[in-house]
């Protein structure tokens, strides 16, 4: 079993990842700016922030995987990319880094354009999407000694559309996953299934992949 730290572990994606990790027998450590009133039994909760990387590295000593489920919004907009780059540089080389990005960086078709570059993509979410893409750029340009994976959730992923856990999903590689009607969705619980599957049976070493139904 792995010791997994989840940054943003009390948020929508992060809390599902913590719960899925614990349900499979892993040790889960949630790091967030505040402690939640409702906690996953068996998980450890630490109050802290990605904005203090030296402290974070010291607190995460002994973990096998660090997963960032922190979004580039609010106080983190304009700061997520630089702090994740610092974290990647400071973590021990044997620690695997996972990042939950956004749908914006996924392609609309193999070899095609990015979702964020389509006219239909909301201007409101472009700054967040572009910073998440910058995080991916930094990981791809980083040293081969750092293993990582990067997840593009489906376009309809979010707390406004939670769905249920089915235990299944599709892996689209670089391309956004859509159904026969062209809709793109995955529940919070099944995103977590995909993430912990990747922790347990790595298929995307230093790669990104999209998930959806």
pLDDT value at position 69?
Answer: 98
Residue 195: band (very low, low, confident or very high) from pLDDT cuts 50, 70, 90: very high
Cβ contacts of residue 30 below 8 Å, gap of 6+?
A: 5, 6, 9, 10, 14, 15, 18, 40, 43, 44, 45, 46
**Residue 5: band (very low, low, confident or very high) from pLDDT cuts 50, 70, 90:** very high
Three-state secondary structure of 188-210: HHHHHHHHHHHHHCCCCCCEEEE
Q: How many CA atoms lie within 13 A of 160 on its CB side?
A: 2
* Band (116; pLDDT cuts 50, 70, 90): very high
Three-state DSSP class for residue 74: helix
Question: For residue 161, what are the domain limits?
Answer: 3-212
Across the range 2-10, mean pLDDT stands at: 98
Residue 28 main-chain phi, psi, to 5 deg:
-115, 130
CATH, residue 109: 3.40.50.720
Tally the domains of the chain: 1
60-111 residue pLDDT tens:
999 999 999 999 999 999 999 999 999 999 999 999 999 999 999 999 999 9
Q: b or e along 20-35 (b: 16 or more beta carbons within 10 Å of the residue's beta carbon)?
A: bbbebebbbbbbbeee
Structure tokens at 210: 């999209």
Rounded CA gap, 86 and 50, in Å?
A: 10
Q: What φ, ψ does residue 4 adopt, rounded to 5°?
A: -115, 125
Q: What is the mean pLDDT of the chain?
A: 97
Q: How distant is the alpha carbon of residue 44 from its chain centre?
A: 19
- Give how far Cα 17 sits from Cα of 7, 30, 100, 106, 110, Å: 10, 9, 10, 21, 28
CA pair distance 66, 95, nearest whole angstrom: 7
């Amino acid at each position: 079993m792995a010791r997994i730290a989840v940054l943003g572990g009390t948020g929508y994606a992060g809390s599902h990842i913590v719960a899925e990790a614990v349900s499979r027998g892993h040790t889960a450590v949630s790091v967030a700016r505040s402690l939640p009133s409702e906690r996953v039994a068996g998980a450890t909760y630490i109050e802290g922030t990605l904005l203090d990387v030296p402290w974070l590295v010291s607190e995460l000593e002994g973990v096998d995987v660090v997963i960032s489920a922190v979004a580039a919004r609010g106080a983190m907009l304009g700061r997520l990319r630089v702090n994740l780059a610092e974290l990647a540089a400071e973590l021990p080389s044997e620690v695997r880094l996972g990042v939950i990005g956004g749908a914006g960086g996924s392609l609309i078709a193999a070899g095609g354009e990015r979702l964020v570059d389509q006219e239909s993509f909301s201007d409101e979410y472009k700054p967040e999407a572009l910073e998440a893409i910058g995080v991916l750029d930094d990981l791809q340009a980083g040293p081969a000694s750092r293993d990582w994976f990067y997840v593009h959730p489906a376009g309809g992923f979010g707390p406004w559309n939670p769905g249920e856990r089915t235990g299944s999903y599709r892996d689209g590689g670089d391309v956004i996953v859509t159904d026969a009607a062209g809709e793109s969705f995955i529940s919070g619980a099944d995103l977590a299934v995909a993430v912990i599957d990747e922790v347990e049976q790595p298929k995307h070493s230093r790669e990104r992949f999209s998930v959806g139904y």
